[in-house]
Amino acid sequence: MVLLRPASFSGALYVSGRRVFSFSLSAGRAGRGEEEGSGKTPRGLHTIAEKIGAHAPEGMRFVSRLPTGEVIHDRESHGGENYILTRIIRLAGCEEGKNRGNGVDSFARYIYIHGTNKETFVGSRHFSHGCIVMKNCDIISLFERVEEGEYVYID
3-state secondary structure labels for all residues of 23-53: EECECECCCECCCCCCCCECCEEEEEEEEEC
Name residues of the chain where pLDDT drops below 70: 77-79
Q: Structural domain tally of the chain?
A: 1
Q: pLDDT tens digit string along 78-87?
A: 668 899 999 9
CATH code (residue 150): 2.40.440.10
Q: pLDDT tens digit string along 127-143?
A: 999 999 999 999 999 99
Phi, psi of 139 (to 5 degrees): -65, -35
- Structural domain that includes position 9: 1-154
Coil, helix or strand at residue 143 = helix
